[in-house]
Amino acid sequence: LFADAVWGALRGLETFSQLVGRDENGTYYINETEIVDFPRFAHRGLLLDTSRHYLPLKAILETLDVMAYNKFNVFHWHIVDDPSFPYESLTFPELSKQGAFNAMTHVYTADDVQTVIEYARLRGIRVIAEFDTPGHTLSWGPGAPGLLTPCYLGKDPSGTYGPINPILNSTYQFVSGLFQEVSTVFPDFFLHLGGDEVDFTCWKSNPKIRAFMREMGFGEDYKKLESFYIQRLLDIISSLGKGYIVWQEVFDNSVEVRPDTIIHVWKENPTPYMQEMANVTKAGYRALLSAPWYLNRISYGQDWMAAYKVEPLDFEGSPEQKHRVIGGEACMWGEYVDVTNLAPRLWPRAGAVAERLWSNATVRNLQDAYVRLADFRCKLLGRGVQAQPLYVGYCEHEFGG
Amino acid sequence: HLTVTEPVAVLKADEVWGALRGLETFSQLVHEDDYGSFLVNESEIDDFPRFAHRGILLDTSRHYLPLKSILTNLDAMAFNKFNVLHWHIVDDQSFPYQSIYFPELSDKGAYSYNHIYTPADVQLVIEYARLRGIRVIPEFDTPGHTQSWGKGQKDLLTPCYNGEQPTGSFGPVNPILNTTYDFMTKFFKEISSVFPDAYIHLGGDEVNFDCWRSNPEVKEFMKKQGFGTDYAKLESYYIQKILDIVSSYNKGYMVWQEVFDNRAQLKPDTVVQVWMQNNYAHELSSVTGAGFTAILAAPWYLDYISYGQDWKKYYSVEPLNFPGSEKQKKLLIGGEACLWGEFVDATNLTPRLWPRASAVGERLFVTDLHDAYKRLTNHRCRMLR
């Protein structure tokens, strides 16, 4: 097995392991073979959400194993969000103390995080952490008083909170401190900064924020306030020597971002995602595709086929534009997912996305893919993965059989 | 009737089955305090099920389910006071039931030798269920859904024709041959003795008439019988003979709604299972209006997954919401949550069935419903333990 870098060798070893067959007598054999292979896209990722439901370390490590079997090479760790803050921060220990579902049992210690990063590295998988702001931050509030915007009902605070408060200096001090730590903890060059679904209602209700809007001449355009926050955040991250990935709203809302920003396309409307891919790449940014690959959106039947049929470069654009599509990610959001159903919901469906990102664009015959994916699913069962069936049928050795 | 006081708790029930349900209730009253001590509050509970038939359908033909997964599921059913396992054991895709009289059926029809339920396996399921107060009603679905039967039983299925020539493929059970009924007589004799429940489910759903229509001998038979081109009559002819066979073994039978819809002659104690989604309330009226007992499955096909909290729509079904008299309403004896197996096996059975089926379980047991979300999430955590 020859490879330019150790990562290629890892992929080649995986291929080799899949070539091994077993005959009727139980003897392992391998056919004489010659294979030259390389991935079509460099960024082939899987997103896990450990905020909507805590995922025990073991579940994450198992997922990394199966990612390696599927030649995924990026683990996008959407580690915190509104419902819970399981990340144990050295700089701000109160964040998880107050924000985790249970600060004793539903947290990732510094050790846990390093375990994940190293386990992934040995499998050729980069870990890109996402600390999504300024929205999706409710769980940050209890451990960081004054961070979130107090919402108002008329003249008085309503008692509820909204996105991060963009008008306070303390906000930027806090964010600086946190990302200083995050930048050292996670070795990858890129951090995912989120920036999606910022609800302006709370900002609009707060009189101090309204005053700030007037001062800055933003008028009634709260997108400008969002941009104000994001730009300062991006400067902080840059000064820490990291690159960043952001959800598409940051681009859609015309925030000024560095040219080497990667835009993560996830929405199917109002702009169809292929159009968004065209717009993002036309503006000179690199793009990641996730919109058609939200694996948490289950439905009856063989939905892996729809995921497989996606063609990431199916938009009108120059070759330079097409080169800016660096890959994509299958996303398993956690609203209805935890360790009880993670593996069957992920596998083998995510395999369809993995092949789409690795293999040549010409590899798209569904019948052929079905046979190979069904066979691969039985292999996964043999490796102890709780991968669910594609359709009627059987494997030699069933799960729990 | 459950009374919890000091120093003892007393559980009274008319039958052992009631005692089982009461023990389950008691087990759910136990909670832990901050120090890890187990406590039960002083309580007095009077409970009884609203409906007598509260079932789960499992399909072991589209995918084989290892014994362990069936047994785990029986435990979960007991936690949710389900009392019927509707075992849809064979179908087109595979025949895992190892028959004593006809061993070829599973020899040739199962996915493999490792995908079989031996007589010992079957008895294990039945006894495991019985100890939890769960009846096991097997379904041997005919005349449709029988592709796998043809592998081990020559001449059972109808050969399909293209013009004058057999195509090599087969359709439903062949209703015109005596050998068919000889086989069924012997086969159901075995089933009647293997499965102790008073009822057997005989299927009768989704019979595709194309193959029958194509077969010259079948066409000849239709003429002789005066059925014209109404193949529903041929289907009923077949079904009636099977029903008679099964009756002769002193078993009652359950059938899918098509058997009723196609006007087969049914014994008065037949149970009709309503499964077609379209206007099922109307079907319930018809079935009970004709004096037959009914079971509702139509709104509870749990294999139809979708994104979000779909348990709410299962919970909000009111089975008695159909036009009919008091007498008719009494004929609806319960329902079943169905988990068809096209996309389900032991890798995803448990998370797909629970706790969604719990919503159905409560709907079938309880008369007064409230605060469902909070109680269901607590119950889900309890089942994890």
Among A residues 319-348, those touching chain B with beta carbons less than 8 Å apart = 336, 340-341, 343-345
The Cα diameter of chain A in Å comes to 81
pLDDT value at position A54?
A: 98
Distance between CA B289 and CA A309 in Å, rounded? 50
Distance between CA A276 and CA A267 in Å, rounded? 9
Per-residue pLDDT band at A119 (split at 50, 70, 90): very high
Per residue in B286-326, pLDDT (tens digit) is 999 999 999 999 999 999 999 999 999 999 999 999 999 99
Shared domain for B323 and B267, answered yes or no, is: yes
Shared domain for B183 and B43, answered yes or no, is: no
* Mean pLDDT computed over B321-349: 97
* Mean pLDDT computed over A192-212: 97
Q: Contacts from B116-124 at CB under 8 Å and sequence distance 24+?
A: B117/B60, B117/B67, B117/B89, B119/B194, B121/B67, B122/B97, B122/B194, B122/B195, B123/B194, B124/B67, B124/B71
Shared domain for B19 and B126, answered yes or no, is: no
Give A250's contacts (C-beta < 8 A, 6+ positions apart): A193, A195, A230, A257, A261, A263
Closest by Cβ to B343, choosing from A296, A389, A396: A389
pTM: 0.95
| Interior angle at CA A6, CA A5 and CA A9, nearest 5 | 100
The encoded tokens of residue A294 equal 């939200």
With an 8 Å Cβ cutoff, is A29 touching chain B?
no
Candidates A360, A377, A351; CA nearest to A68 is A351
* Mean pLDDT computed over A142-146: 97
Q: Would you call A399 and B114 a contact, using CB atoms and an 8 Å cutoff?
A: no
| Interior angle at CA A303, CA A75 and CA B311, nearest 5 | 90
Shared domain for B67 and B34, answered yes or no, is: no
Q: SS3 of A112, please?
A: helix
pLDDT value at position B268?
A: 87
With an 8 Å Cβ cutoff, is A393 touching chain B?
yes
Per residue in A337-396, pLDDT (tens digit) is 999 999 999 999 999 999 999 999 999 999 999 999 999 999 999 999 999 999 999 999
Residue pair B294/B327 in contact by the 8 Å Cβ criterion = no
Omega of the bond leading into A344 within 30 degrees of 0 (cis): no
With an 8 Å Cβ cutoff, is B344 touching chain A?
yes
> In terms of DSSP H, where are the helices of A51-189?
57-69, 94-99, 110-121, 169-185
Per-residue pLDDT band at B370 (split at 50, 70, 90): confident
List of chain B residues whose C-beta atoms are within 8 Å of the C-beta of residue A302: 343
Distance between CA A234 and CA A260 in Å, rounded? 12
Phi, psi at residue B372, to the nearest 5°? -60, -45
Per residue in B150-162, pLDDT (tens digit) is 999 999 999 999 9
pLDDT value at position A311?
A: 98
With an 8 Å Cβ cutoff, is B277 touching chain A?
no
Shared domain for B116 and B235, answered yes or no, is: yes
Q: SS3 of A248, please?
A: coil
pLDDT value at position A256?
A: 84
pLDDT value at position B371?
A: 81
Distance between CA B32 and CA A23 in Å, rounded? 54
* Residue B168 CA: distances (Å) to CA of B91, B138, B171: 20, 31, 10
Distance between CA B320 and CA B284 in Å, rounded? 9
Q: Would you call A391 and B343 a contact, using CB atoms and an 8 Å cutoff?
A: yes
With an 8 Å Cβ cutoff, is A294 touching chain B?
no
Q: A181 an active-site residue?
A: no
Closest by Cβ to A391, choosing from B306, B342, B384: B342
pLDDT value at position B264?
A: 84
Distance between CA B151 and CA B163 in Å, rounded? 24
Per residue in A24-75, pLDDT (tens digit) is 898 999 999 999 999 999 999 999 999 999 999 999 999 999 999 999 999 9
Q: Which of A197, A256, A320, A398 is catalytic?
A: A197
Mean model confidence pLDDT for chain A:
97
* Mean pLDDT computed over B336-359: 98
With an 8 Å Cβ cutoff, is A189 touching chain B?
no
Shared domain for B61 and B36, answered yes or no, is: no
User: Closest Cα of chain B to A212: distance in Å?
Assistant: 39
Give A297's contacts (C-beta < 8 A, 6+ positions apart): B307
Is the pLDDT at A226 greater than 90? The verdict is yes
Shared domain for B231 and B154, answered yes or no, is: yes
Q: SS3 of A203, please?
A: helix
Q: Would you call A392 and B341 a contact, using CB atoms and an 8 Å cutoff?
A: yes
Q: SS3 of B280, please?
A: helix
Per residue in B202-211, pLDDT (tens digit) is 999 999 999 9
Q: What percentage of chain A reaches a pLDDT higher than 70?
A: 100
Q: Which residues of B are catalytic?
A: 206
Q: Would you call A398 and B115 a contact, using CB atoms and an 8 Å cutoff?
A: yes
Per-residue pLDDT band at B90 (split at 50, 70, 90): very high
Per residue in A61-115, pLDDT (tens digit) is 999 999 999 999 999 999 999 999 999 999 999 999 999 999 999 999 999 999 9
Mean model confidence pLDDT for chain B:
96
With an 8 Å Cβ cutoff, is A243 touching chain B?
no
pLDDT value at position B35?
A: 93
> In terms of DSSP H, where are the helices of B35-91?
67-79
Shared domain for B141 and B14, answered yes or no, is: no
> In terms of DSSP H, where are the helices of A263-388?
273-282, 304-309, 319-323, 342-346, 349-358, 366-382
Is the pLDDT at B335 greater than 90? The verdict is yes
Shared domain for B29 and B110, answered yes or no, is: no
CATH number, domain at B21? 3.30.379.10
Candidates A384, A381, A390, A335; CA nearest to A61 is A384
- Beta strand pairing status for A148-153 and A126-133? unpaired
Candidates B45, B47, B124, B125; CA nearest to B81 is B47
Phi, psi at residue A227, to the nearest 5°? -60, -40
Q: Would you call B112 and A398 a contact, using CB atoms and an 8 Å cutoff?
A: no
Residue of B nearest to A384 (CA): B347
With an 8 Å Cβ cutoff, is B94 touching chain A?
yes
User: Closest Cα of chain A to B110: distance in Å?
Assistant: 10
Q: Would you call B346 and A401 a contact, using CB atoms and an 8 Å cutoff?
A: yes
CATH number, domain at B367? 3.20.20.80
Shared domain for B22 and B57, answered yes or no, is: no
Per-residue pLDDT band at B144 (split at 50, 70, 90): very high
Q: Would you call B305 and A299 a contact, using CB atoms and an 8 Å cutoff?
A: yes
With an 8 Å Cβ cutoff, is A297 touching chain B?
yes
Residue pointed to by tokens 């995921």: A307
Number of domains in chain B: 2
Shared domain for B27 and B175, answered yes or no, is: no
More confident residue, A23 or B136: B136
With an 8 Å Cβ cutoff, is A392 touching chain B?
yes
Per residue in A296-343, pLDDT (tens digit) is 999 999 999 999 999 999 999 999 999 999 999 999 999 999 999 999
Q: Would you call A392 and B303 a contact, using CB atoms and an 8 Å cutoff?
A: no
List of chain A residues whose C-beta atoms are within 8 Å of the C-beta of residue B306: 298-300
Per residue in B33-87, pLDDT (tens digit) is 999 999 999 999 999 999 999 999 999 999 999 999 999 999 999 999 999 999 9
**Disruptive mutation site among A345, A388, A396 for chain B (greatest number of B CBs within 10 Å):** A388
User: Closest Cα of chain B to A359: distance in Å?
Assistant: 26
Residue pair A142/A204 in contact by the 8 Å Cβ criterion = no
**Disruptive mutation site among B69, B112, B117, B343 for chain A (greatest number of A CBs within 10 Å):** B343
With an 8 Å Cβ cutoff, is B248 touching chain A?
no
H helix or E strand, kind and range, residue B149: helix B149-152
* Residue A142 CA: distances (Å) to CA of A45, A83, A94, A133: 32, 12, 8, 16
Distance between CA B33 and CA B35 in Å, rounded? 5
Candidates B280, B263, B269; CA nearest to B321 is B280
Shared domain for B216 and B333, answered yes or no, is: yes
Distance between CA B173 and CA B190 in Å, rounded? 19
- Beta strand pairing status for B38-39 and B31-32? antiparallel
Give B3's contacts (C-beta < 8 A, 6+ positions apart): B9, B10, B11, B43, B44, B45
Phi, psi at residue B305, to the nearest 5°? -75, 155
What is the domain range of residue B167? 49-384
pLDDT value at position B266?
A: 87
